[in-house]
Structure 1
Amino acid sequence: MDFSALRLDHVGIRVTELATAEAFYARLGFRRDPDEFSAADRACGLVHPTGLRLHLIYNGIKAREGNVLMDAAVKHPGYTHAAFVIANMDALVAWLASEDIAITQGPLVMGEGRRKVCFIRDPDRNVLEFNELLDA
């Protein structure tokens, strides 16, 4: 191999409406990166204070069945979710409740006790996973 993958740069998330998606992700702490915006490509880069990056690809159409990768009976290949490591699940759960953001699954312990996880959906039904890593 001639290269080494050092880290993930960003996750691209297809959305239907930029303003709605950007407002949702702003609640999670993401802000528009003016250097990562392209109206021609319909892509908007967001950055979190921790350095995490997302690209909102705003050319999606509303699907009748919700998220076609997760909610449809026939499972198509594709990226199904982005997962974030967090410091405190209890604090996240309390914050989600205060923001009226529904938890779609969890919190529960997974990975043979390695992590506590919960899942939410953005306005376009894209899945976001949050993981609190537990001591071995």
Structure 2
Amino acid sequence: MTIHRMDHVGIVVEDLAAAVAFFVELGLEPEGEATVGGPWADDLLGLDGVRADIVVVRTPDGNTRVELSTFHSPATTGTAQRAPANTPGTTRLTFVVDDVEDILDRLRAQGAELVGTVARYEDIYRYCYVRGPDGILIGLVEELR
């Protein structure tokens, strides 16, 4: 059995518009949007009465997609924890960017919070983590070589 490629990463958010704005500010491009529901969605998710809005955004090279979704039904039962970055099961999405400080400033205007500091690893890269909408943990890497 062979994996052909990674198709996408899916993230459930409360405020879909805010999440889309955040990822667009990061530099991703909207690819499509839809409302989903019905028996196939119920079967897929193991839930009853699924109705959700989704927006897919992609990196400029077209190789990576992020599916952002918000559920109208069934009602959610809780929220994801804002756990420290070293918590088992914590998901991070990391993007290579031209200028960490520029992106960081732009994302802060979208409500992002810096986790730790912008760190430099030798003369190879500058790297930081930010928390975006709903506590999504995003890595920003600026290659120095």
Which bracket does the TM-score occupy, shorter chain normalised?
0.5 to 0.7
Sequence identity of aligned pairs in percent? 24
Distance in 2 of aligned mates of 1:23 and 1:62 = 24
The superposition leaves residues 52-99 of structure 1 with CA deviations (integer Å, 9 ceiling, x where unpaired) of: 311113236663x842xx24xxx453x521011112324334444566
Is the contact made by 1:16 and 1:61 (CA closer than 8 Å) also made in structure 2? no
Equivalent residue pairs, number: 126
Query: Gaps spanning 5+ residues in structure 1: where?
Result: none
3-state DSSP of counterpart to 2:134? coil
Q: What is the RMSD of the two structures over their aligned residues, measured on CA atoms?
A: 3.3
Q: 2:65 aligns with which of 32, 42, 53?
A: 53
The 5 A counterparts of 1:1-136 are: 2-3=1-2, 8-34=6-32, 37-40=34-37, 41=41, 42=52, 43-51=54-62, 52-59=64-71, 63=79, 66-67=81-82, 70-71=83-84, 75=87, 77=89, 79-96=90-107, 101-110=112-121, 114-135=124-145
- 1:119, CA displacement in angstroms? 1.2
Q: Which structure is higher in helix share?
A: 2
TM normalised by structure 2 equals 0.63
Structure-2 change in CA distance of 1:100 and 1:21 (3 Å): closer
